[in-house]
Amino acid sequence: MRLSSVYARLVMLGVALAAGPAHAAGSSMPWEGPLQQVLDSIEGPVAKIVAVIIIIATGLSLAFGDTSGGFRRLIQIVFGLSIAFAASSFFLTFFSFGGGALV
């Protein structure tokens, strides 16, 4: 083996042994606290109740209402958003994705 190859390997080994461990902990950024509060609020029991009420109201208005054009599109958007917000707390626990899935 060449002397430069041995030297390069020794340097790489020394750098690898001297490196400190990388801890994958939270970064404590200033926006993480407020965002976690919003996520907790969206996933709570009040959010489930509100989402179910909105789903029922928009479903009934789509089924029995005489809507057309932009108002019908608005109702469909509200319906989709309420399903999306309900999914973060209801459907994830239904399919046993409780702990690690963040939406």
Between 21 and 49, name the one with better pLDDT: 49
* Mean per-residue pLDDT over the chain, rounded: 74
The answer as to whether 5 is a domain residue is no
Is residue 23 included in any domain, yes or no? no
Contact, 51 vs 79, CB < 8 A? Answer: no
Report how far residue 43's alpha carbon sits from residue 102's, in angstroms, rounded to the nearest whole number: 10
Q: pLDDT at residue 103 above 70?
A: no
Residue 28 lies in a domain: no
Tell me the residue range of the domain where 68 lies: 34-98
Query: For position 100, what pLDDT does the model report?
Result: 54
